[in-house]
Structures are given as structure tokens and as C-alpha cells.
Structure 1
Amino acid sequence: MIAIGSDHAGYELKQQLTQYFKEQGIPFEDFGTDGLASVDYPDYGIKVGEAVATGKYEFGIVICGTGIGISISANKVKGVRAALIYDENTAKLAKQHNNANVIALGGRTHPFEMAVKLVEAFRNEVFETRHQRRLDKLAHYEKEHSK
């Protein structure tokens, strides 16, 4: 299952992606926002990040105007590795090298067709375990500095 959320600037792209997921039979849960009224991206980046950190979701998708602010927000959640992806190569590498569990897109920078390509490129990759020691260092830092 995919966790997805956006602020107002990412709302339209989120709606298009959730419609695509419905059509493809891809399970997801929408964490908001529910319209175009101005909201704060940290609220939704953190909601999706917390949901993914529970382990219930395969991964998360967060969307704001550029994807930058909401990716920073999601990365504040312990255990989240959110990656701003902007082409198929970064989508693949986010999974292969970083085992990202949240991807960030820009509602103002990614047309729907490109967003689908990026999501699918990410979904179809696998983590290359040779990079695990780097993730272990991040986890160690989180553990030591979350006191």
C-alpha cells in the first residue's frame, strides 16, 4: 500500500495520481490535503512520514509545489528516507542506493505523465544491499541523536 499526501500546490497532481492508482488497482491511502485552499506542507509531509515509519506502507509519496519543502518535512520523521526525484534515473537510484521509503514530487514541476513514469520507475526497483552500511550509519546517527 502507498501512503500519499500533498499540500495545496501538490493537490491536483495528487488527485491525478490517486485516480491512476485506482485505475491500476494499486492500493493507497490519501493523507490529504483535500482541496486547493492554502495549507502548510509540513503537516502533510510529517503525516505521510509517520505513516510510512509504522511499516504499514510499501512507501510514501509527498507532493508540494517543488517537492523540496515537503521532502524536508518527511525527513524529520525518524526512519524516513525521503528523496526528491526529478527524472527516471533519480527515481531508480533513490531505491537502489538509498532504499528511500518516501519519494517527493513537485506539483508545479512534474507533469502527470512524468510523475507516473517516476513513480513506476521507483516501484519497479530493488534496494542494492551493498549500500546497507551507509543506511546503518544514518540509523545509528538517528538513534544517538534522538535522545
Structure 2
Amino acid sequence: MPLSAISFFCEDVRKEFNGGETIVGLMSDNLTVEVPSVAPPTGHQPALPKICVYTRINFDMNSVPDRLAIVILLPDGKELGRNVIAKSVIDQAASEMGSNGLVGIKAELTIGNFVLIPGLFKVIVETSFGDYVSGILNVHT
């Protein structure tokens, strides 16, 4: 397999002074939205102020992709957000690979006013090798 990827939905990804990250409010794969007993005003839907997707991508030095992008898809398949990873970032990660020949890239994507539509939100890692589902969030009532 030329590539592996995993994505997590969370409330925030904080940058640390040492260059690391802290994932805050890691969400489970299933998110239940409570339906209010009184109907909300027309057009009002439950939402989060923001949601972050934290993704780790690993690939073998002999299988460096030409392109990488992280994409969040709505339950109806339409694109909600995208983070294109620059080729220079891919090349830099490949040049810093470990002795085991494994290259790693971290990527994030933040969406403000995240409307909680029932259904499966998917995170797709698009590569020159094909597309990979790296995470899901199942929103239900």
C-alpha cells in the first residue's frame, strides 16, 4: 500500500511552543444532536462554532505522491472544505524521512459554523494514487 491516513474530528488543534500539537475535544465517530422540544426559528439548524480535522498521512519513500489534499464532504457528497498540501511540503517531508523510509505529514482543516446535518461527514485524502477515506463523523438525532 503506497499510503495510509487517519483523520480525527475535534474542537481545536493547538500549536505548542515546542512545535507539537495538542488535540482538544476529540470527538467520537458518532455524534448525537438533540432535537429541541420547541421548534427552532425557521432556517435555524444546530451548529458548532467550529470544527477541526487533524490528519496524519504516511507513505513510503518509494511512493511519494505528486499531490495531496484533505477534503471534508457533507452527507450529500458536496465539498464542505479543502486543504491542499503544497508540493514543497511533500518534498520537504520526504527529505526529512526517518531511517525506516517512512514519510509523515500532518495536516489540519478548520471549518467555522459547522452545521450539524444528520448523516455521514467524510474526510477524504486525495492523492495522485487515488482517494482514501481517512475519517467519518456520523451525525444523528
Q: Give the TM-score range, shorter chain.
A: under 0.3
Structure with the larger helix share: 1
Q: Greater relative contact order (Cα 8 A, min sep 6): structure 1 or 2?
A: 2
TM-score w.r.t. length of structure 1: 0.23
Query: What is the TM-score when the length of structure 2 is the normalising length?
Result: 0.24
